[in-house]
Chains A and B, each alone.
Chain A
């Protein structure tokens, strides 16, 4: 039925066009009648959903006279995005809380060994935290654009909200640069450890050991962390590119391109935020001994044994090859 309706509409459209063309054709031979052959708004909108013409000012974008597509974008921004973002972020928060309540913190089963091993260098940690800080500010300032008006504005009033939003916008724009650099560095420095391999299959099959007290073997990064890596790299690239398209209007595309950019930017961003909530959870209260990896840069050997057995073995083998029995013979405390 739907296809029939579509066909009828197409046929009607063709007829209208034909009628229009015949009206524009000279009635008597040689007559050119610009009054009668005038363009019609309705017809142009039916054909293209966009009306464009010539303007003499250099700003050629102003040649777009009308583009009702803004309507769909508005629907997305005010309805779809709020639902998607709300479900993703609130859903993730609820899931995390539930998980925590059920499981509590994942402990180091064998207890701390007192021996530590270097997991992330100072540079790696710097890059991580730079990106992370930027991300948090970007996330909050970004969420403010979508959710601030219904949630925050009624609380603090127009003036304060605008003041805050203004600063948030500046922060969002300026911090995008260190964030982008961070994403680029992350993608380069951790690329080697994040190539998926066979161990990941096993890890995933065993559900990452989240349920029960299983510890599937993993290299430096387990499949879950690899997923985070790729989300950061791909998602980061996506928000960066679309973000810059919005920050420098008309360099990359016209208004319809910017609408698409905004859609991609915002959807990726809210999902990104949701994922990062999980990442933060697991790196902090979700798992004992995990935060140290990015905190001091060293982790307890027992933690490493449980979560990254293959990596620990590799590190130890390398140390042994170097002729040293204990590469990181530093007291834990």
Chain B
């Protein structure tokens, strides 16, 4: 803790005192004495020495003043991770001249990491794109915005005409504001495709799917701050010290104040693990065996929370059967973790409660990602660690607004706010957007494709290059419009070059050219390539959602510089070019082509009942930013007495039920039955029916309820489980009388034929939610969480070896899932795994290759590698290798090596970092580098003056095939490689 500025001021008064300075106390010298002694002071200053002391002080005050005097402070949100640190900028004459600590933010409390402390440079960077550019016969040429939009629009319309709307791929960004991401998805819907995706696909898509399928919503259940309450923190598959540094403030203080267990399970001794009280090293790709290994001990010793399981969990018996297979011997055989070590961990996690489980990409970016996070949720459920302070699945998301962009449906499987793609969802949104459903349908090739999930971004290049009959849409993808997404974050770069070459059109809208540009040039493109300069998020306003589901409103710090444009403006210009801007922006004010962020959020509020984004009006969010200091750091709640934000939780973490007027405070901890719903309480969401027919061993069947049993949130009028609210259920309870006439009219308008079917999520009046809340009930119902998530490829998580595994002996017992068609494209993981074994890949490439984050860079890294303050700190791409493996290969620390991969004869040149961070047989690379390919420096491919300062080989040049069956998440954490001294 620092001495806060207020305290500091009091003693700074005496510090500046010239009187003590002249008396020479403490042997110190004040500035003026020094000047005089040094003979540097000019005549005027020297003469001051003869004046009475009072005069001197006055003269000093007049002569000197801070350079920042007169600057306006503006607040926005750091764009580099999901912690949601407030950035306080000092702006003078339209120039961002300084950054100050944001003491008032309950999340970061003044702190930043290397990236956050240097964001000012992003805006003023000399190397940013300045104007639109077009690649003409192999030359980057400047064009006007008008020309660019016209040419791009014409080409897209031409492709649409010939190949249908699905042949254009809209790749958006988790860096956009909620409003930007929402409008980008809406643009996709109006264009007529579900091929709209963003970084969540390659970050937490498996979490969203796995966790939502367990208990309702696929998001962090608690918050960074709340981890302070935990007695046991377990981090498995995450390195927050580098990926979410400011979160460590809460984790480490929690560890210290609670004397908490701090368990890190990871193949790598990370900077996070360095602070662990227990570190467990495991073989990469064996999360499920390790988690089952822990559960085995829990069940063996009866440490499970039996009452919690009885009341709130479905499928425990099915799970027990799977856990029984994972005795300590088998766990150690598969994962390398000794049973005794896991017994310690199991005991702490189950008995020293509350316990929280923290994870990030280490669990998700796997072919078994969905199953991994499911197993993690199951461990939490088994020990009763969900729905209270210090508990929960604290899932650390990646980008600053990846949670928000996911929520607003910038995704291939759903419309905004998880409504899905079924007819009902489209009809809901056509009502919100006030456009005809038939119009939307007419934009698509067919109703069937309108309701079919799009192509995951991990597979975009295959959608371009696969034979037409293997891509389940009218034609291959022929154009990619990418706004704010790196290409080097996507695996199998050598194969993506074929896609880059084959495209008819590639549009890159970004503050930087990104590796899309340098690789497209390298792939041999000569034209059909545009770059549009986009403003950074500090030049835009709007809301962002931190990992803890809090919405924060960011002000515009400075106007977009050079010719760059706000995301929203570019979306508008495209819509306008396509001729549907008037329909798309019917309820959103547009000024000088720029849609208003506030109006956009209001439209979202009107349609987002399913996720509780309905209460976060722009006015409320702005009030929160203004009153940040009033929120308690631990509970994140403002005192009820406050007139503006009284009783609210910081950032109104969703679900924030009802209309803004209902003044729901937000939900800081999901599924917390100890609080009333109007205080942020909740229950598990019954999302998968209210009962299930189970087959018994004797062939008979029985019906089992999926609703909670005797558990309910505080002050609930219904003292048991209950299904979601509809008009029909209100009528049954006799609560329909609580609806106002206007609300009833609205409900009748939504479904004139059967108004009874109108539910809490479709009721645009918010009446059903309001009435449910009035009775202390959660609008979505009160169900059980599922240990058995029927409907998923593996309803009970099953260990499956990575596609490229060093343990070929285990593949027969733990093979990957069979080949299948998923998301319009084939997933041939099984065949690839089989072929790898037949070819003896594991002998040629004996090292396991994993990848991860560095604190200095983010994502594909072009933006951060362009920032000299960050780039200076990591100037070379490297690979971590264990000293034993390095010695075997004659590799020296800091020496150059060639890394070769198991596919495409891929190779990459980088420096070796010989370290015990990685165990023997494991190598690790950071994934932020780009601009080199196979040892070749691609600096010349960037438009002049826009190349990042630091370039290097991309980890994804070496990564290989492998996709999670439920989401097509890519495999970046476990593949094979070989390393040789260069």
* Chain A residues in the interface with B (C-beta under 8 A): 28-36, 56-58, 157-160
Contacts and interface: CB of A to CB of B under 8 A. Distances in A.
Given A28-B340, A31-B341, A158 B38 contact: yes
Contacts of B280: 32
8 contacts: A28-B340, A31-B344, A33-B278, A34-B275, A35-B262, A35-B277, A58-B875, A157-B39
Contacts of B53: none
Contact of B276 (A29, A34, A158, A159): A34
Contact of B279 (A28, A32, A58, A158): A32
B39 A159 contact: yes
A28 B873 contact: no
Nearest to A60: B894
Nearest to B339: A30
A241 B876 CA distance: 34
Interface in B241-288: 262, 269, 273-281
A33 B340 contact: no
Contacts of A36: 277
Contacts of A34: 269, 273-277, 279
Contacts of B262: 35
B872 A33 contact: no
Given A32-B281, A34-B279, 8 more contacts: A28-B340, A30-B338, A30-B344, A31-B341, A34-B273, A56-B874, A158-B38, A160-B39
B702 interface: no
A56 B873 contact: yes
Given A158-B39, A159-B39, A33 B277 contact: yes
A28 B278 CA distance: 11
A31 B277 CA distance: 9
B466 interface: no
A33 B276 contact: yes
A199 B874 CA distance: 67
Nearest to B34: A158
B37 interface: yes
Contacts of A159: 38-40
Nearest to A160: B39
Contacts of A158: 37-40
Interface of B: 37-40, 262, 269, 273-281, 338, 340-341, 344, 856, 872-876
Contacts of B276: 32-35
Given A158-B38, A158-B40, A159-B38, A31 B278 contact: yes
A157 B279 CA distance: 61
A324 B739 CA distance: 138
A6 to B, nearest CB: 35
A59 to B, nearest CB: 10
Contacts of B856: 56
A58 B894 CA distance: 10
B177 to A, nearest CB: 32
Given A30-B338, A159-B39, A57 B278 contact: no
Contacts, number: 50
Contact of A29 (B38, B274, B340, B874): B340
A229 to B, nearest CB: 45
Nearest to B342: A30
Which 6 A-B pairs give the minimum distances between C-beta atoms?
A158-B38, A30-B341, A157-B39, A32-B279, A159-B39, A35-B277
Contacts of A56: 856, 873-874
A160 B40 CA distance: 10
Nearest to A32: B279
Contacts of B39: 157-160
Contact of A57 (B37, B40, B273, B872): B872
A159 B40 CA distance: 7
A174 B273 CA distance: 52
Nearest to A36: B277
A29 B276 CA distance: 17
A34 B876 CA distance: 28
Nearest to A55: B873
B149 to A, nearest CB: 42
Contacts of B279: 32-34
Contacts of B281: 32
A36 B277 CA distance: 7
Contacts of B269: 34
A12 B873 CA distance: 41
B340 A57 contact: no
A198 to B, nearest CB: 56
B340 A32 contact: no
Contacts of A160: 39
Question: Taking each of A28, A30, A158, A160, which has the highest tally of chain B beta carbons within 10 Å of its own beta carbon?
Answer: A30
A33 B261 CA distance: 10
Contacts of B37: 158
A33 B39 CA distance: 58
Nearest to A158: B38
Contacts of B277: 33-36
A209 B279 CA distance: 82
Nearest to A38: B274
A160 B275 CA distance: 54
B277 to A, nearest CB: 5
Given A28-B344, A32-B280, A57 B873 contact: yes
A157 B278 CA distance: 62
A218 to B, nearest CB: 54
Given A32-B278, A33-B277, A158-B40, A57 B341 contact: no
A234 to B, nearest CB: 38
Contacts of A32: 276, 278-281
Contacts of A33: 276-279
A34 B279 CA distance: 7
A213 to B, nearest CB: 56
A159 B36 CA distance: 11
B664 to A, nearest CB: 41
B340 A35 contact: no
A32 B916 CA distance: 14
A14 B411 CA distance: 62
A36 B274 CA distance: 10
A264 B872 CA distance: 36
A57 B281 CA distance: 28
Nearest to A28: B344
Nearest to A35: B277
A54 to B, nearest CB: 8
Contacts of A28: 340, 344
Contact of B875 (A29, A30, A31, A57): A57
A60 B634 CA distance: 41
A231 B338 CA distance: 70
Contacts of B876: 58
A29 B338 CA distance: 10
A36 B262 CA distance: 12
A29 B341 CA distance: 8
Contacts of B873: 56-57
Contacts of B874: 56
A12 B275 CA distance: 29
B543 to A, nearest CB: 35
A35 B40 contact: no
Nearest to B269: A34
A159 B39 CA distance: 6
Contacts of B275: 34-35
Nearest to A159: B39
Nearest to B264: A34
Contacts of A30: 338, 340-341, 344
B668 to A, nearest CB: 29
Nearest to B872: A57
Question: Taking each of A29, A31, A33, A58, which has the highest tally of chain B beta carbons within 10 Å of its own beta carbon?
Answer: A31
B705 to A, nearest CB: 43
A5 B575 CA distance: 86
A298 B288 CA distance: 97
Question: Taking each of B279, B338, B856, B873, which has the highest tally of chain A beta carbons within 10 Å of its own beta carbon?
Answer: B279
A28 B344 CA distance: 9
A269 B804 CA distance: 67
A33 B277 CA distance: 5
A34 B280 CA distance: 11
